[in-house]
């Protein structure tokens, strides 16, 4: 299985003479598409009603659970990144740590999973599309294997399920607390202005 993953990585990686336009797009995607997630979360909170705010909180909880799960998996399954073993071509700098699973891929997979589970299909499909672009870019620039992305999806689904279970039990209370904190912050900001 690892040999298949290595072979697929080499097919998707930039290669020795990559096209400059594709390189620029891949580097942009690998560094900046992740910013769509906080903008989306902020938009849900600021411009949405109760349903949007609950979705925003559920996504934040799911991301937190997923990162904890990913850290645990990364400690148990240590796989050096491709550039650490001289495989392929790395186009960006990255820490020399375990590659499995991809946290960038995980963030989009978690968002898509939660959004599908709360029946927000259009936003879920957008998260899937952005996630696929990010997954490709992380492989293309040489910092992840294809199976790292599969691992992200495997971790994302139980994280999304755990988040929605937490929200079923405590969502209303968390929303009230978050709105109180927001009111306090905005009140202090308005008093200073």
In whole angstroms, how large is the CA radius of gyration of the chain? 19
pLDDT (tens digit per residue) in 53-103: 999 999 999 999 999 999 999 889 889 999 998 888 889 888 888 899 999
Mean predicted confidence (pLDDT) in 6-17: 90
Gap between the Cα atoms of 108 and 146, Å rounded: 15
pTM of the predicted structure, to 2 decimals: 0.89
Angle formed by the axes of helices 2-12 and 121-140, nearest 10°:
90
**Cβ-based neighbours of 140, under 8 Å, separated by 6 or more:** 12, 13, 14, 22, 26, 30, 91
Of 142, 157, 140, the C-alpha closest to 106 is 157
The pLDDT confidence band at residue 39, using thresholds 50, 70 and 90, is very high
pLDDT confidence of residue 155: 96
Domains in the chain, please, with CATH? 2-192 (1.20.144)
pLDDT (tens digit per residue) in 114-156: 999 999 999 999 999 999 999 999 999 999 999 999 999 999 9
Residue with tokens 């903008």: 39
Percent of the chain with pLDDT over 70: 97
């Amino acid at each position: 299985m690892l040999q298949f993953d290595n072979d697929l990585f080499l097919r998707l990686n930039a290669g020795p003479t990559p096209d400059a336009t594709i390189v620029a797009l891949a580097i942009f995607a690998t560094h900046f598409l992740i910013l769509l997630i906080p903008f989306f979360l902020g938009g849900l909170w600021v411009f949405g009603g109760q349903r949007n705010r609950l979705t925003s909180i559920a996504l934040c909880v799911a991301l937190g659970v997923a990162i904890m799960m990913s850290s645990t998996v990364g400690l148990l399954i240590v796989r050096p990144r491709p550039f650490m073993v001289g495989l392929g071509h790395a186009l960006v700098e990255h820490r020399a740590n375990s590659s499995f699973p991809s946290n960038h891929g995980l963030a989009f997979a978690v968002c898509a999973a939660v959004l599908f589970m709360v029946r927000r299909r259009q936003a879920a499909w957008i998260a899937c599309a952005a996630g696929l672009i990010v997954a490709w870019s992380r492989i293309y620039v040489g910092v992840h294997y294809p199976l790292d992305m599969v691992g992200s999806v495997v971790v994302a689904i139980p994280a999304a399920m755990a988040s929605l279970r937490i929200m079923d039990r405590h969502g209303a209370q968390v929303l009230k607390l978050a709105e109180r904190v927001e009111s306090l912050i905005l009140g202090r900001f308005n008093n200073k202005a």
